[in-house]
Structure 1
């Protein structure tokens, strides 16, 4: 699953670094912590490797009307 925004791609990269032991898990916050807990290393690698070109900085959730 490719990242939908630059922020999501960066969070996946941080979570992947923790999964690979390059970063302390305790340093993760927010989305990266959630991704670390819920995604496999393979999923994180796929999301983190997504190109950032043509991606918005953030994708906001749509509110239900």
Structure 2
């Protein structure tokens, strides 16, 4: 797992192996990010989201 500077990650989050949260990304709380996922620069992941393995998130994701 790799968490870049100036991003925010909420409470009770589960981030699996080889995943990256890039600069300025905003990740809510109580979510799951699968393996080999990239949350791109300035992307937003809302509370409770479930991001499947091998996914790139470019904008906003909700449930």
TM-score by length of 2: 0.22
Provide the TM-score with structure 1 as the length reference.
Answer: 0.22
Greater strand proportion? 2
More helix by share: 1
Structure of greater Rg:
1
